[in-house]
Each structure stands twice: as C-alpha cells, then as structure tokens.
Amino acid sequence: MFVVSVASLLPLLMIAQTLQAREIKFGTNDYVEYMVGDANCPLILAAPHGGYLRPTSIPDRTGNVTTVTDTNTLETTREIDEAFYQLTGCRPHVVISHLNRVKLDPNREVEEAAQHPEAETAYHEFHGFIEEARRSVEHQLGRGLFFDVHGHGHSEMWIEWGYLLTSAQLQNRGDSLNALVDQASIRNLALAVEAETLESLLRGERSIAARMEAYDPDLFKSVPGPSFLDPDGGNYFRGGYNTRVHGSVDGGQVDAIQIELPQSIRFTVEPRNRFAVDFAAAAMQFLNDFYGCNFSRKVSPPLQKMAKL
C-alpha cells in the first residue's frame, strides 16, 4: 500500500507561538509544567529528561546516577503536541520537567531521582500532574494512552518503543509472547481489543511502529516493529519507572509506551519536525482504531506552518 507522509508535505514544521486558549499549570518555582489537555483527548505526553534549569539551590545528584540530558526531547514533545492539535483540533495533556537531569530524574524512584527537598517537591509535582491527567482521561473518556518521550545515543539509530518487556522476552513469538500480557505497559489495551493480540499491537501492521515505518522506513525504523521484531542483541531500552507507574501493567485504564528517539531524529530540526507530524498522524490513527476515538483531520495537508518558540 502506498503511504504518503504528512511530513513529506511539510519540510519545515515549526512550533506555534500561540498556544490558543489553554490552561497551563506550573509547579513550585516553575520547575514543572502541565499543559492541560482537552476533555475529549485521551493522549498524554511527558518529557522528563529534556529540562535545562540548573538552580544552584539544588545540589547536583551524586552517586551511581545517570545525568545525561535527552537533548531536544522537550522540544520534540511540544512539537508533537502542536502537530496533534493542528491535525485534530484537540490538545493532548503535556507534562514537562524543566529541571536538568543533573538536578532531578523523574523517571526513577524518588530516592535516586531527587536528592534534595526542592527537587523532591518537583518530583512529586511532576508525577502528580501526570496522575491528574490520567484521572481526567479516565473520568472523561474511560481509557487513554500515555507516551513518555526520551532520547538515546545507541549506534543502531532506531526508535525504541518500550512496553516493559525485555529484549529476551521480545524474542518470543505468537502465543509465547502473548502470554506475557500481564507484564506489558499496554496490558489494558491488549486485554480490551479482542481482534488484536499483544504481539500484533507491538509489531503488527496496525502497531505504532508499523505506522511510523510506513512513513519512512529508514528514518523511523523501529524496535519492536515489523522490520525488527526484537533487538536481536542490539541496544534497547524497554521502558522505565514512568512507563510502569503510569501505565496499565498494575491496573488502570491508561496504557503507557516509552519512546526512545535516536540522535538522527532529535539533533536536527527537519527530521525532528517530520517525526512530530508523522507521529501525530500515527497516534491519531492508533487512538481511532483502539481507543474508541473518532478524530478526523481538521486541516488538509500541508499543515499550516508553525513559527518556532
């Protein structure tokens, strides 16, 4: 089937300066930001590792901790938000940590994540905002989908979709993989959709990975996905703390997927913009297919050009 990429029709997608009418909440000292989504939007986005702030009042984290910034993931998350809005007319819920990872890592247990009371406050506000978004989605719509946006520096340059399943577990096929549904961050979805299995949702033709590869199989090559069923010994992040606590593996109606973007997408404006636009379209289709949504394009491609913040 021939697939036309929305991104191919928009070489230079930029973020809008106007956020339209929208409620925005900030945590203490503006370290955490929550851009409240529309009541009819089941999509939640978070950027835990893209912040820039390094206040001297918070000591740097010490010990055996990771402090590398996921460069441009904050910008990517904002671009996805804007692209989804322009495509559907609906605003996702968006939660951003503005603290640099050397000060706070919201994708860890609190003891490792925040080593100072000021950072601990921001930590609880970050997760509190995501929980507020989850409660809103469950109350308004019943079910929803949360994407935790990260970046990696692995040599494979693929998009890593994290469902809490290990590389070894992804080597399973068919019923052997489907039997792991209770360990997956999209457990609720896999149990709710009778026509799909866990395996088909991870790497089948209607998976997020397959939809992205259809737009550009080189730039958006994915694992797990139709081209790379599992990492096969390669590097892979399976999903972390946020994917576990805010997904449906332990219950609830909101599923979670960790996105790990390669440097080939994040480090340059044009591919990053292409990803944002095509991912917005893929997410729209995924939500329509599996979450009872009825989104339709509110604009005809090419999407209106957006000015960078």
Average pLDDT over residues 201-230: 98
Residue 203's nearest CA partner among 237, 167, 168, 227 is 227
Per-residue pLDDT averaged across 233-253, rounded? 98
Contact 99, 58 (CB under 8 A): yes
63-110 pLDDT per residue, tens: 999 999 999 999 999 999 999 999 999 999 999 999 999 999 999 999
Q: Which amino acid is at 231?
A: P
Nearest-angstrom CA–CA distance, 126 and 47: 10
Distance CA 105, CA 103 (A): 7
Average pLDDT, the chain: 92
CB 223 within 8 A of CB 230: yes
- Length of the chain, in residues: 309
Residue 168: which H helix or E strand, with range?
Answer: helix 167-170
pLDDT at 171: 98
Give the span between the Cα atoms of 44 and 36, in whole angstroms.
9
Beta carbons within 10 angstroms of residue 120's beta carbon: 16
**Does the domain at residues 14-290 carry the CATH identifier 2.30.30.90?**
no
pLDDT computed for residue 19 by the predictor: 45
Average pLDDT on 274-302 reads: 89
More confident residue, 3 or 57: 57
Q: What are the tokens at 197? A: 């299995």
Look at residue 246 and tell me whether its pLDDT is greater than 60.
Answer: yes
Pairing of strands 222-223, 159-162: parallel
| pLDDT at residue number 297 | 79
pLDDT at position 216 over 80: yes
Distance between CA 37 and CA 59 in Å, rounded?
Answer: 33
Kindly report the number of other CB atoms within 10 A of residue 135's CB atom.
12
Rounded to an integer, the average pLDDT of 246-268 is: 98
> What pLDDT, in 10s, does the model give residues 142-189?
999 999 999 999 999 999 999 999 999 999 999 999 999 999 999 999
Phi then psi for residue 25, to 5 deg, are: -110, 145
Judged against a pLDDT cut of 60, whether residue 305 lies above it is answered with no
Q: Which residue has the higher pLDDT, 201 or 7?
A: 201
Pairing mode, if any, of strands 93-97 and 144-151? unpaired
pLDDT value, residue 299: 56
CA pair distance 199, 184, nearest whole angstrom: 11
> Could you tell me the two tokens for 239?
């999903």
- Taking CA atoms, 280 is separated from 80, 168, 174, 276, in Å, by 6, 30, 29, 6
The winner for highest mean pLDDT among 5-9, 86-90, 299-303 is 86-90
Contact 143, 42 (CB under 8 A): yes
Confidence of residue 21 (pLDDT cuts 50, 70, 90): low
Q: How many CB atoms lie within 10 A of CB 184?
A: 28
Contacts of the segment 191-196: beta carbons below 8 A, 24+ positions apart: 192/143, 192/290, 193/290, 196/290
Q: How far apart are CA 34 and CA 103, in angstroms?
A: 19
Residue 20 has pLDDT above 60, yes or no: no
Given a contact cutoff of 8 angstroms between Cβ atoms, the answer to whether 213 and 225 are in contact is yes
pTM: 0.91
Instruction: Specify the 3-state DSSP secondary structure of 25.
Output: strand
Of 249, 42, 277, nearest in space to 147 by CA: 42
Answer yes or no: is pLDDT of 53 > 60. yes
